[in-house]
């Protein structure tokens, strides 16, 4: 079973993870999640694989997050809906395989995951 990398080509960390997969000869499927958008069910399944809550993959330093959401009390389900609606707020890259996965930031998380 191949790996899937949820990738943003403009993100340096995401490009580093992609390069690492290529260096290791790892077969993968690339999903540019800013173009091929998540729906709530798919992102929820990815979160289960990486064993993180929606709040743990939010890019909290993004100006948009700070301005629109940071000061509000939000449930995990509400945050999931926000991430689906505004995928640029998703921390990246995320790599999955079968029923497991990892938020590959820092890259060491991916290195450990591939062992």
Which residues have a catalytic role annotated? 11
DSSP the chain: --EEEEE-TT-HHHHHHHHHHHHTT--EEEEETTTSPPPHHHHHHHHHHHT--GGGGB-TTSHHHHHHTTTS---HHHHHHHHHH-GGGB-S-EEEETTEEEE-SSHHHHHHHH-
């Amino acid at each position: 079973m191949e790996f899937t990398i949820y990738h943003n080509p403009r993100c340096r960390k995401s490009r580093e993870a992609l390069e690492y997969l290529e260096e290791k000869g790892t077969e993968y499927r690339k999903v540019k999640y800013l173009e091929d958008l998540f729906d709530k069910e798919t992102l929820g399944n990815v979160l289960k694989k990486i064993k993180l809550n929606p709040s743990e993959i939010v890019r909290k330093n993004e100006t948009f997050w700070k301005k629109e959401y940071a000061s509000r009390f939000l449930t995990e389900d509400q945050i999931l809906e926000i991430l689906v609606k505004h995928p640029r707020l998703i921390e990246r890259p995320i790599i999955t395989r079968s029923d497991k996965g990892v938020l590959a930031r820092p890259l060491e998380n991916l290195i450990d995951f591939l062992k």
